[in-house]
Amino acid sequence: MTQWLTENWCLIFIYLIINIISFSMYGIDKYKAVHKKWRISEAALIISAAFGIIGAFCGMFCFHHKTRKMKFRISLPLIFVIEAVTVYLLFIR
């Protein structure tokens, strides 16, 4: 496991940055919603979740944003399962 981490540190760093961006998008959209400003589209939020699901989940629950929308309550866990299975099949198995 340690060897894998040292060999793929760049991928892990990129994934971390993507998740920070995804988290930030949910926070920015929540701020804009509260202040009645132009918003980030739902499609953009879901696409950001496809690349940074952990950041999207954290942003969704930390900012209490999009937690009631069924589209997000279904798509984000589905994206998480798909990514978890993909990671398992590609890296762990």
How does pLDDT run across 68-81, given as a tens digit for each residue? 999 999 999 999 99
**Interatomic CA distance for residues 18 and 69, integer angstroms:** 23
How does pLDDT run across 42-91, given as a tens digit for each residue? 999 999 999 999 999 999 999 999 999 999 999 999 999 999 999 899 87
How does pLDDT run across 20-41, given as a tens digit for each residue? 999 999 999 999 999 999 999 9
- The per-residue pLDDT of the chain, averaged, comes to 93
Instruction: Calculate the CA 47 to chain-centre distance.
Output: 9
Does the pTM surpass 0.75? The reply is: yes
